[in-house]
Structure 1
């Protein structure tokens, strides 16, 4: 029997995007999802006459009819179905690799990865390029899939890329690769071995040539370890950046000024970061400026965007509703310990901390000093909170558990005083109670708004 289908495992954004790209190129497509496909994606599949199934995989059809498999990055490599597919020697590729076959006539493909800051960096860089009137698309782990943006035929693609996407990619080629940092994250996926996670991040440099650029954070110790390991394998031109030391070549900070020392030892003063708060933000800005200079972006455009930075939704997003002097801050995108540390460090004043979700091999030890200093109560919002409770039970006197965002918000408010900050910063993925960090953050904002307009009638409503 002759196989004829491109089978896509996963009916989310990347899977449906790949289905549209395959369909556009006259390939027979079958989308299979183990869960329920969202209505917005089902409508797209139906509109384009793409065959699909949900709530389970028809394994025999997939095994017998598939020419190749495009796998969602969220599916584990040791999944039972993946093992069967491998046993039958059916090729499995990533959406990123699939895209490389069909991307035509573009100037730059900019890949951005890191444990923290990739969404912020990608979004700001995209806004700069757009304001500079570049034909640019933002995709990957943010917004639309790479496949969908290819259908729009952009000249420049800014891609936020996760380690999961890189794990399955062998042909992906970034003209400009940016590695922001490597901290403990997703270690449950990497056998609790940060070196395996580091190897995944460095895959972004695979397939780069002497014509390409690799931009990296010199201050990050794991990146420096990776450079020693992969130095001979990376063919691209290195551009390091630092906020802590002057570099003989690269970008660095001196007296609040981003400077660039070129290979002729000439120093160029670029941008004043005096009003940029936080080391992570400074690193993001340096990476953005490097790319902007490489692409000859107009200085007025660059200064205009960087001087008026808006916060990214779900990243330290201050909610407009202040109740009796209590602030609410949505940091639902903080899905690892390092991101939460940054949030706790930045916020001034006492904090009620809403934390929890699906643990990713987290080590909360580095949070202990700052939690001891600032956090007045911890609300665990998750199914399994034992690790968080054990770490902080001797540090914070009040630790409560709930599986309801409504209760988490109200309990936090009931424990707060004027001047307190209620911070949602999970340190974990959201997949135990929510589909993703966006739904979690939106639910938090919805409950804060509800509390703002209805607090007079609440009176212990949620304690049952």
Structure 2
């Protein structure tokens, strides 16, 4: 019997354990932290052995294969020992994909992947396809594979998950964009992070597709230097293309395989240039699996978007409050500020992942009337924008930040939470930060 050891007892770890057990492995789950009660109950139900607050090496180094949680870096001593012994260390998406014949749409990128994943899934569902959505979003992919026989999977895939693939191959891969992010995991080398993202196409064949942002010079250059086997389908909001998706006369045009569809941009439910790109990517994927254009049109007009991503919360005294807590890097915040149509009170700050705020300067000059800092260390933000914006206020709690914003914002203006930073200094995660923002607004 093959021994499957799983490092990390969270959503992906427990899902993999269930699938491993079903497929006849001897399964062991090990977590250096505490395992949540709900997950322990699942492991007990399936009679799967586990340990917490320790990694017992004698129970791990005898594995035939190890699935590690995406949160564990490769540099960790235990992972290095496994590599030295020649024991394969893979990700959940690699493991689970071996046990499904479904058509896989894999979506990665620094920003936009959650919205693109949700929209793709929404269009497929509206078309009546039997589809599951998993990966970095929602339920565990492995657990889904163990319980369902979907015809399609739409997977949001992080670079950490791609680092652990061997044979994984999506039929349709979408690369939304690549901007510097998580560089602490990649020796602070942007090219290492890029190589990780492009692993999504490494096993693709000529009958597969790679949909990518042709306006992203980094992606275009990489593809020139590192050709892939799959068929390239670009999308662009800057130029018209021979093949792919582009904008012409306020319409989205998608040309693939001598077949063209047109959709007006006026009816799009999602606002902002970046959402135009997310919509083009998702619509192109839908077209490649032959979904009717009426279905695609109706879907992009009715889709509600992802929580914590440019989410309109409330209007109070003619001031619109927008929750963009998911913007954990400068690029995401750039798109948020770019989509603002009124003077904006901008709430920003948190744990800085090596941000260069200069890119935001033109938008801040044009749109931002006041900055409210929300982080333990706001010095970089104050240095960057202190001379550009008349009013910069430091706060240390969400309720305080929202109260200050309420006082500053005038009729017809917008209060935007778009932190450009991770949330771990004052919050559990970006969801917690976004939820605190929404609660503080409701308590005004």
**Structure 1 spans left out of the alignment, 5+ residues:** 453-464
Alignment partner of 1:134 is 2:132: no
Whole-Å separation in 2 of the counterparts to 1:45 and 1:405: 37
Whole-Å separation in 1 of the counterparts to 2:424 and 2:250: 40
Alignment partner for residue 243 of structure 1, among 232, 237, 241? 237
Whole-Å separation in 1 of the counterparts to 2:365 and 2:240: 34
Deviation at 1:65, TM superposition (A): 4.2
| Stretch moving more, 159-168 or 249-258 | 249-258
Residue 307 of structure 2: aligned partner: 313
Alignment partner for residue 27 of structure 2, among 1, 26, 29? 29
Alignment of 1:22-171 (within 5 A): 22-54=20-52, 56-103=53-100, 105-106=101-102, 108-151=103-146, 152-171=148-167
Alignment partner of 1:339 is 2:332: yes
Whole-Å separation in 2 of the counterparts to 1:419 and 1:70: 51
TM-score (norm 1): 0.88
Residue 220 of structure 1: aligned partner: 216
Deviation at 1:49, TM superposition (A): 2.7
Alignment partner of 1:188 is 2:200: no
Alignment partner of 1:201 is 2:194: no
Alignment partner of 1:408 is 2:404: no
Residue 253 of structure 1: aligned partner: 247
Whole-Å separation in 2 of the counterparts to 1:90 and 1:49: 25
Whole-Å separation in 2 of the counterparts to 1:40 and 1:380: 37
Whole-Å separation in 1 of the counterparts to 2:233 and 2:402: 45
Check the 8 A contact 1:100/1:172 in 2, yes or no: yes
Deviation at 1:92, TM superposition (A): 1.1
Q: Secondary structure at the match of 1:286?
A: helix
Alignment of 1:439-458 (within 5 A): 439-449=432-442, 451-452=443-444
Which string of whole-angstrom CA distances, capped at 9 and with x for unpartnered residues, describes residues 99-135 of structure 1? 12222x32x1000111221111111111111121111
Deviation at 1:439, TM superposition (A): 2.2
Check the 8 A contact 1:377/1:396 in 2, yes or no: yes
Q: Secondary structure at the match of 1:319?
A: strand
Whole-Å separation in 2 of the counterparts to 1:75 and 1:424: 30
Whole-Å separation in 1 of the counterparts to 2:322 and 2:256: 41
Residue 18 of structure 1: aligned partner: 16
Whole-Å separation in 1 of the counterparts to 2:306 and 2:328: 15
Check the 8 A contact 1:189/1:360 in 2, yes or no: no
TM-score (norm 2): 0.92
Q: Secondary structure at the match of 2:302?
A: coil
| Stretch moving more, 125-134 or 372-381 | 372-381
Deviation at 1:337, TM superposition (A): 0.9
Whole-Å separation in 1 of the counterparts to 2:5 and 2:362: 49
Residue 419 of structure 1: aligned partner: 412
| Stretch moving more, 292-301 or 217-226 | 292-301
Change (3 A) 1:8 1:406: farther
Change (3 A) 1:414 1:274: closer
Alignment partner of 1:270 is 2:262: yes
**Structure 2 spans left out of the alignment, 5+ residues:** none
Which string of whole-angstrom CA distances, capped at 9 and with x for unpartnered residues, describes residues 52-94 of structure 1? 333x323334444433321111211112332333344432111
Residue 229 of structure 1: aligned partner: 225
Q: Secondary structure at the match of 2:317?
A: coil
**Cα RMSD (Å) of the superposition?**
2.3
Whole-Å separation in 2 of the counterparts to 1:179 and 1:225: 14
Whole-Å separation in 2 of the counterparts to 1:267 and 1:209: 22
Alignment partner for residue 389 of structure 1, among 382, 391, 413? 382
Which string of whole-angstrom CA distances, capped at 9 and with x for unpartnered residues, describes residues 255-299 of structure 1? 122334556xx6734222244443212212222222222111123
Which string of whole-angstrom CA distances, capped at 9 and with x for unpartnered residues, describes residues 191-243 of structure 1? 33322222111111011112211112222101111111211xx1112222222
Check the 8 A contact 2:65/2:88 in 1, yes or no: yes
Whole-Å separation in 2 of the counterparts to 1:93 and 1:406: 42
Q: Secondary structure at the match of 2:21?
A: helix
